[in-house]
A and B are shown apart, each in its own frame.
Chain A
Amino acid sequence: MPEKYHIKTQPVPPRRPRLGKYGVVDWREDCARCHNCVKKACVYDRYRQEADYIRNLKDVDALFFDCMGCFSCVQDCTKGLLCMSINPEYMKMGNSYWTPDIIKTTWLQAETAKIPVSGAGYRGPFSGKGFDSMWTDMSEIVRPTRDGIHGREYISTSVDIGRKPSYLTFNGDAVPAAAKQGLVSIPMPLIIDLTSPAHTLPQLNPLIIQTAVNTGLIAIIDSRQWDGKEDNLENIAFYIGPDSPVVAKETLKKTRLIELADNINVIDRISQIKKIHPDIVIAIRVELTAAGVERAIKLGGLEEVEVIHVVSDANGNELGEAKPRFIKDMVRQIHTALIENGHRDEITLMAGGGIALPEHMAKAIICGADLITINLPLMISMECHLCNSCKPGMTCPAKLEKIDFNYGVGRMTNLIAAWHDQLIEVMGAMGMREARRLRGDVGRAMFFENLEEDTFGKLFGTRKQD
């Protein structure tokens, strides 16, 4: 059995007070000073904590909002003065895709490295758009594996990047010959992608690279922003923009993976790089514009291409379209086309954009990606609110430009560890033992439109258009 993949974590508390969903506000003046709320009703002791917080406040940075929303103090108040409300600051975070709840759960995971657990069942909508329109399968009485979640049987989340040999070849002494080309294996189907232009802070790169080192993963770093330190080249994949020169030969020879922006000369550049370092794995970054899907399918048929990295916008949408397709559907389309064209096993498909939660990782893989790439969740892990204030001249409330090294690395590492554990939960439920085998296994998922048609379509006619 291979050595078990484990990410070392430790709690990394937030730098700022938690921005919770609920707040309790005084309704009117008439408090009896009975201290019912403080001493009895609040089992979380939040009133006392709030008082301590205010007492020790050095400057007004944020208010204290950590109410758990149990209504106990509201309902037990001797004079009925208390009222709970939803914190408007909380609701202002993020956007319709990166909801406040997503941001909050990301913070929690970055702090604790734990899987978020709660009671009282599911609270959300029946289904939704994008990844919320599919469910992963599980198996119970008849299943192939034992319990992998608590270590009773190993679940491998490793994936390979690059061209796998389609058959084994042997030397004269019956020993399998080594693969002709390099193959990069990483312990989890996740790569740290370039930060979005809004969050591009060169000082974050060392933190991101160290996170990649801690987790055994790879970070894609823009070659123009690289600081020249060659300590961890195993964990760096340089991104070479359309107009950027390829990194120095000696540096190139020490890396395992490199990513090229898609352009008309990309095949020539691949040849150029392969001449310097034949074993390097080269990914082509394809933006999912209107022509992106077709371009990815076309690239998949070229002998020189081994990895395609398709990237949508941050919300998982097709770029520049009024009625955009979602990343999961585009990945499915590319995956299916590659199968039909007979190229699927020759190509590694990486997908990025709109991956906001760990279930999106599993679902994107089920839809056909070999692995996913993320960047925004890592920014959020460092307490980014997605407030869109990150423009020149504006102040970042999360002070991302002043992040302490250990804090940033710790939070990002914790988040990735929590995502890994959750991937294992989902795979364990499915009875899957290998992330590699999850790729494109749509039989291990249920899609809203199919379930609706099979169930209600047969009973109630045609579904009205949304």
Chain B
Amino acid sequence: MASFSAQENRINEILPENTLKTLVPQEQVERVVRPAPSRYRNEIAKYIVHRNLNCKLCGKCVKVCSYNVHVLKPGYKYFAEPKNHLCIGPSCEKSGHFCVSQCPQKALQVTENPMYKALGDYRWTADLILATWKMAETGEVPPKEYDYNYQCGNSGGGFDKLRFKFPDKPRAQLDESQIDTSISLNKRNDGRPEIKIDVPWYGGGMSFGSVSNVTQLSKARAAVAWNTFTCTGEGGYMERMRPYDDHVITQVATGLFGVREETIQRVPIVEFKYAQGAKPGLGGHLLGDKNTPAVAKMREAVLGISLFSPFPFHSVYSIEDHQKHIDWIKHVNRRALISTKVSTPTDVDMVAVGSYSAGTHIVHIDGGYGGTGAAPDIAKKNIAMPIEYAIGKVHKFLSDEGVRDKVTLISSGGIRSAHDVAKAIALGADGVVIGTSEMVALGCVRCSRCESGRGCPRGIATTDPELSAKMSIEWGTQRLINLYSAWRKELVRILQQLGLRSVHDLRGRTDLLMHLDYTNDMGAKK
């Protein structure tokens, strides 16, 4: 498996002597899947088991159930609460192990949990949330019998209407070990490091302020384990991130919060954030309540005031200005790759080519339906095009201009599953950035309350010390390692079914896709 480290790429030999490099010893994190169960006492279940007063406590249900839903602890007279989240529901009837039909007293009943309807939304259905939790817990996609649709949401368009056309028999029978999921982030051949990441995704920018330091560190450690990256967002660079410098992208955004030459010199990738999918055309928002003393210190801002980043960069009104920005970073950090994060306006293809010509290594397009942070509701659904439209447009234009293989195209904004990753790549991206999926893996229920007050009641997107303490770094790291593991396995299965040896071979293969709302007969159309 391809990997990147400072030693392998011999940065010291490639780069001028005066280049600063992190002197902090880099911490290693094992890429091992371990169980990371929910940190809550009660898990939300799709089905619930009811036991009525006819129960004679015979214990047959315990013996019959293969999923350990029923619990009769030794020495206890009565059953404990059933582990509803393990129940696969009425589909169990086919297995011959259905407790309801096997109960001699007919004392059991399994029904759909009415609470299920209160969980999730069009983009992140309850199935998708629970399946992501399962993946984060076990490192595997949920078994089929749970009947979770973890492949897509219910938004009625875009990724949710795209499907792969899996052949009955793949062209080649490939073993998992034969499949390469790594992607290269530097295609410019410009003497800067040839950075490869082992999975075609990395973690999106979430600033300290928008999320807790526990969340940021968990993301960073998972990135180390999977040899990929995480991003600081625009809120500055925590000192506690230093042991993970080699897997950190630091962001230079319009607010320039916490941006110093020293922080730019720490990392292998620096990202210019021109815009973001959550609020295209608007600057970052950190509402006053979340601007705690620690955040204010990091951002060198006044405590408690709302921090609205300007839009756009006031020093950039043309591609030439953009190039000056890139030149500045390239000068400050002679080993860094440059990523340019933009949103998805009509002319996103022109912006991408312009950014390439200005010297960027990575064009990161962030679609309008993504985002994890605070955003005006009006911006969320109305401004800029969904990423599904933008990927193909940019891929084609870069190809037509003859530069497609000289720049890495990363997409984000609504990537929720390994299937979305594969679909984005098939539409033309090299890889993706994920954000919300990571938050869901850490226990987010998408209640949308991350923006104000004490912040996230689940302790993820908050800087409140009490709420942040709801989660430990070790648990958070493991959940993300597990999620990445499940996604990679699923991605490998997709590539196996398509008979492709590498994720790179999937790029731009729209011929492998179909759309449920279309006739899928291009020949007839022509």
**A residues with CB within 8 A of B:** 22, 42-44, 68-72, 74-80, 83-86, 105, 115-127, 132, 135-143, 146-147, 149-150, 152, 357-359, 362-363, 422, 425-426, 428-431, 443, 446, 451, 454-457, 459-464
Contact = CB atoms under 8 A, between A and B. Distances in A.
Contact of B281 (A139, A142, A455, A459): A139
B236 interface: no
Contact of B351 (A86, A140, A426): A140
Contacts of A85: 114-115, 117-118
B41 A43 contact: no
A13 B414 CA distance: 36
23 contacts: A70-B458, A116-B376, A118-B449, A119-B448, A121-B278, A121-B369, A121-B372, A121-B375, A126-B386, A136-B383, A138-B343, A141-B316, A141-B317, A146-B310, A422-B378, A425-B378, A428-B311, A429-B311, A431-B281, A455-B388, A459-B510, A459-B515, A464-B517
Given A137-B346, A359-B378, A126 B383 contact: no
Contacts of B448: 118-120, 123
B382 A451 contact: no
B446 interface: yes
Contacts of B322: 141
A85 B343 CA distance: 36
Interface string B319-354: 101100000000000000000001101110011001
A446 B369 CA distance: 15
Interface stretch (B7-15, B63-71, B154-162): B154-162
A456 to B, nearest CB: 5
A-B residue pairs, 7 tightest by C-beta:
A429-B281, A126-B157, A119-B450, A138-B281, A460-B518, A75-B40, A123-B121
A311 to B, nearest CB: 24
A461 B342 CA distance: 30
Contact of A120 (B274, B447, B519): B447
Contact of B449 (A70, A84, A357): A70
Interface string B90-127: 00000000000000000000000011011101111000
A459 B513 contact: yes
Contact of B275 (A105, A140, A443, A457): A140
In this complex, the member of B44, B283, B452, B518 whose beta carbon has the largest number of chain A beta carbons within 10 angstroms is B518
Contacts of B261: none
B379 A460 contact: no
Contact of B518 (A119, A120, A149, A461): A461
A149 B345 contact: no
Q: Specify which of A22, A71, A76, A426 lies most central, judged by the most chain B CB atoms within 10 Å of its CB.
A: A71
Contacts of B518: 456-457, 460-464
A244 to B, nearest CB: 38
Given A140-B351, A462-B519, A147 B283 contact: yes
Contacts of A457: 518
Interface residues of B, number: 106
A83 B112 CA distance: 13
A138 B448 CA distance: 24
B24 interface: no
B524 interface: yes
Nearest to A138: B281
Contacts, number: 285
B384 interface: yes
A84, A86, A429 — most chain B CB neighbours (10 Å):
A429
A44 to B, nearest CB: 7
B522 A123 contact: no
Interface secondary structure of B, over-half rule = loop
Nearest to B287: A117
Nearest to B384: A138
Contacts of A428: 281-282, 311
B207 interface: no
Q: Which of B282, B456, B524 has the most CB of A within 10 A?
A: B282
A38 to B, nearest CB: 14
A426 B515 contact: no
Contact of A75 (B42, B155, B158, B314): B42
Given A76-B41, A446-B346, A463-B518, A121 B370 contact: yes
A43 B160 CA distance: 34
B367 to A, nearest CB: 10
B72 interface: no
A22 B119 CA distance: 10
Contact of B376 (A126, A127, A425, A463): A425
B43 interface: yes
Given A122-B371, A142-B350, 6 more contacts: A43-B457, A115-B377, A136-B384, A138-B275, A429-B282, A454-B393
A121 B380 contact: yes
B210 to A, nearest CB: 8
Contacts of B393: 454-455
Contacts of A44: 453, 457
B520 interface: yes
B385 interface: yes
